Amino acid sequence: MRVAIQGCCHGELDGIYAQIRSLEQRHNYKVDLLLVCGDFQAIRNYQDLQCMAVPDKYKELGTFNQYYTSQKTAPILTIIIGGNHEASNYMWELFHGGWVAPNMYYLGAAGSVRVNGLRVAGASGIFKSHDYSRGYYETMPYDRGTMRSIYHLREYAVRKFSRRGLKYSSRMTGRSLSLTMAISVDSCNAKASSETTFVRAGSVHHPYLICFALCSPIGGSLHICIRVSEAFVVHGEPTVPPEAVNLPPAEPVSNGNPDEISLDDLEDEVEAPPPPPPPVQQNGWTRPVALPGQTITNFLALDKCGGQRQNLEVVEILTPNDRSAGPPRLTYDPEWLAISRAFHPFLSLDQRQKPYPLEDAARSLVSEARTWISDNLKMREPSLDLDDLEVAQVQEFVMTAPGPGYEEQTGGRRMQHGMFYTRGSKDDFNRYATLTGDAGWSWDRIFPYFLKNERWVEPVDNHSTIGQYNPAFHSTTGRTLVGFPEYRYPAALRVQQTTHDLAAEFPFNVDYNSGNPLGVGWLQLTIGNGTRSSAATAYLTEDVLARHNLHVVLGANVEKIVTSNEEVGEQVHFDGVEFTYNNSTVVVKTHKEIILAAGTVGTPHILLKSGIGNATTLLALGITPIVDLPSVGQNLSDHAAVVPTWLVNATEPLPATTEDLGQNTSLFNEAFSEWNATRLGPFGAIGVTHVGFFRLSEEVLEGVADPAAGSATPHYEMKFTGGRYGPVNASSGHYFAINTGVVSPKSRGSIILDPVNPTGPATNRPRPSV
């Protein structure tokens, strides 16, 4: 297997992949795996740039976002570690490792996986002595200090790798192979001026490889010893073998723990090989001396992409599991899973790190964890083998934030949400009227506005929709298009049949938008003619945009609403809007109304910056209170969800489920061509076919205050889906999922201003929906 190893990435993925393609064409070989050893810069959008502890001139979006949003796909499996130039908010989401983008796997703060049986391990961050012995105490929002300390290497990660005084184990011998990614150091220049050494196996029974954390005080003590049957470097260009480089001597770690353990998480110990002979001085450098039967190949440390020094090396390694006929298999490392589970109780989220276990206790914990993982895996899925468990079977890539531009796109969130058209229950609106004392919020008074907004459209192919909705609750004269998807996956008929076979449990509701949503009904979408309908497409039509009194200002950011008067209190009159545009501050005056429609997060954020909120809190942030209204930003609720998913035996014509489009390129192209020509087919739909709203039983609610607005208001929602959520698994298979979410949560969160940067982005403090 050929492995390309890259130094700092700095977001230049296009350049790295192009360089690999050039090498492949020049030397007529195929690279199977890319390892990126630090400063990856997984920047999803412009907001992520605010979590990078670098000067503003270095805050560039890069090309990663295009892979994150699937505009591009990584051509080869890419495994990465992080450095000190990262969007740490995103990296923290994947602390234990996970997909940062399709086909790009992040090892986490520390991690180990296998590729075709080859162990790839690494740790992210840089070494700073004052944070090394602390816990992971940083929380969002970061201040200037924690924005930097969040990527400082911690002893917790090192101890999981620790092999100080290692006694070799037979589990690691034989055909077990490993390649280790060195830990990121304080600067790319340091990496570019140092080398580590590959030792090629000879006749010695236990050859090993050591990768040091270069230029780090723990470089001599943190090492990973791995048995390798054969490894050699293939240079991009034929060169004279470089001389070996003297690694800096180790320095003691400050505040070291006297109870340092030597954890190898393995059993059946065997005798360690003898130490190597003393190094030999040559041309000012210290060259390691090989043991009998061994040869030495020097592996150059690498610079960032586009730097002045070499940034990419290609290594050819004989792996235990030859996959020359297909893409490499990324599987879990069972030993690392056991270590991670055993060490989890010692993960500290405070500055003070919890005491670590002694060596004997740690060995027992790892052994018990290995047994627990194996037993529970077999219990849940007997066909799965822990020693051959593919990552994609357990973890999948999920977008956790929008890509660049989406957060500022005309039309707002309606340009990226799931297009579900659900009004809620009569009870909800009647409760709004009661709480506000304004009858205008009642269902009877709001319902005409639903009709004024909506224009129901029939499917493009004009198939009958009788019995699938109630026209009495819909309008054909509004502006926002509403209708059914232009394709229904076969699961739709099975769900519909269930509403008849199990009517007591899953009753059919012909129209859940009637104000009485309980039951299962055909999903209605903000869609028309096979295309998404949004606030922008519905209201910013050509005739509207031609109006002389309408100005759509793109690229503007509203800061606050303002008043010309010195008055404060509930009767104050706001008569202007302040916004930034082209690096200038602009104030627009109004003689009538200001309609603030910035969404669930944006609206209270603007109000708070305008001096409308809790007066005590605003004063503490240096904002002059205009209206003391403590409820602004409070009472935030959200619909947390879980998605049970089943592997199903679909026998219908393709596409039987959403996976088929990702697994079959020809089918994808045919479906896309069909949609472009007719607006029909899978691209005129989503995987969800039905939606159901349900209440908890009276037994469950006994003794608990009902959080719902009334007896006709649901507690939870179920979205029946002909396919799995998230990315499509690369392997074959069909799935059925039920996305189940809370719609009447009892808990509440808040939207507040960032105490460190009150004029910056809002801070969302949700609480789990229960």
Task: Map out the domains of the chain as residue ranges.
Answer: 2-393, 538-633
| Per-residue confidence (pLDDT) for residue 473, from 0 to 100 | 98
- Output the six-digit token pair for 688: 């969800």
Alpha-carbon distance of 578 to 309, in angstroms, equals 48
Cα–Cα distances in angstroms (integers) from residue 125 to residues 10, 35, 83, 110, 148, in the given order: 14, 16, 5, 9, 10
Q: Are 88 and 61 in contact (CB under 8 A)?
A: no
pLDDT at 179: 38
Strand partners, 281: 286
Q: Is the pLDDT of residue 285 over 70?
A: no
DSSP sequence for 221-277: T----EE-S-EEEE-SS--PPPPP-PPPPP-PPTT--TT--------SB-PPPPPPP
Q: Which one-letter DSSP state was computed for residue 287? A: E
pLDDT of residue 238: 28
484 residue type, one letter? F
Instruction: Report d(CA 605, CA 6) in Å as an integer.
Output: 42
643 CB-contact burial (10 Å; exposed 0-12 / middle 13-18 / buried 19+): middle
- Collect all residues with Cβ–Cβ distance below 8 Å to 75 and sequence separation of at least 6: 17, 20, 21
Q: Describe the crossing of helices 443-453 and 426-436 by its angle, rounded to 10 degrees.
A: 120
Per-residue pLDDT at 188 exceeds 50: no
224/182 Cα distance (integer angstroms):
9
pLDDT tens column, 443-491: 999 999 999 999 999 998 888 999 999 999 999 999 999 999 999 999 9
Query: Could you tell me the CA-to-CA distances from 689 to 309, 420, 495, 718 in Å, in that order?
Result: 55, 11, 8, 11
Mean pLDDT of all residues in 116-145: 85
Q: What is the pLDDT of residue 290?
A: 54
Bridge partners (DSSP) listed for residue 740: 642, 718
Bridge pairing between strands 576-581 and 557-562: antiparallel
Side-chain-side CA neighbours of residue 734 (13 Å):
17
Mean pLDDT of 293-320: 62
Tokens of 666: 């020809």
Is it the case that residue 271 has pLDDT exceeding 70? no
Q: Name the residue among 630, 612, 627, 610 with its Cα closest to residue 570.
A: 627
Residue pLDDT, tens place only, 573-617: 899 999 988 778 999 999 889 999 888 889 999 999 999 999 999
Contact 736, 536 (CB under 8 A): no
pLDDT at 221 over 60: no
pLDDT of 530 higher than 70:
yes
pLDDT for 410: 54
Q: What is the pLDDT of residues 671-724, one digit of tens each?
A: 989 988 999 999 999 999 999 999 999 999 888 899 999 999 999 999 999 998
CA gap 662, 672 in Å, rounded: 12
Interatomic CA distance for residues 441 and 436, integer angstroms: 8
pLDDT of residue 245: 30
Q: Is 513 helix (H, G, I), strand (E, B) or coil?
A: helix
Q: How far apart are CA 151 and CA 661, in angstroms?
A: 39
* Mean pLDDT across 378-390: 81
Secondary-structure class of domain 538-633 per CATH: alpha beta
The pLDDT tens digits of the residues spanning 627-666 come to 999 999 998 888 888 899 998 998 888 899 988 887 888 8
DSSP SS3 for 761: coil
Distance (Å, whole) CA 94 – CA 398: 11
What pLDDT score was predicted for residue 688?
93
Q: Contacts by 693-701 with C-beta closer than 8 Å and gap 24+? A: 693/509, 693/512, 693/517, 693/518, 693/519, 693/717, 693/718, 693/743, 694/518, 694/718, 695/518
| pLDDT for residue 568 | 64
Contacts of 436 (CB under 8 A, 6+ apart): none
> What's the CA gap between 361 and 263, in Å, rounded?
10
Measure Cα distances from 678 to 538, 653, 655, 657 in Å: 21, 20, 18, 21
Q: Give me 89's structure tokens.
A: 């908010």
Is residue 319's pLDDT more than 90? Answer: no
Measured in degrees and rounded to the nearest 5, phi and psi for residue 414 equal -70, -10
Residue the block writes with tokens 């009858």: 439
Confidence of residue 286 (pLDDT cuts 50, 70, 90): low
Question: What's the mean per-residue pLDDT of the chain?
Answer: 78
245 contact partners, CB below 8 Å, separation of at least 6:
194, 195, 285, 286, 298
Cα distances (Å, whole numbers) of residue 264 to 156, 520, 662: 15, 54, 41
Q: DSSP class of residue 186?
A: S
- Position 440 confidence tier, pLDDT thresholds 50, 70, 90: very high
Please answer whether residues 223 and 210 qualify as being in contact, where contact means their C-beta atoms are separated by less than 8 angstroms.
yes
**pLDDT computed for residue 214 by the predictor:** 36
349-376 pLDDT tens trace = 999 999 988 888 888 999 999 999 988 8
Q: Which residue would you say has higher pLDDT here, 167 or 650?
A: 650
Nearest-angstrom CA–CA distance, 679 and 487: 10
Q: How far apart are CA 366 and CA 361, in angstroms?
A: 9
Per the DSSP assignment, residues forming a β-bridge with 111 are 122
Place of tokens 């964890």: 369
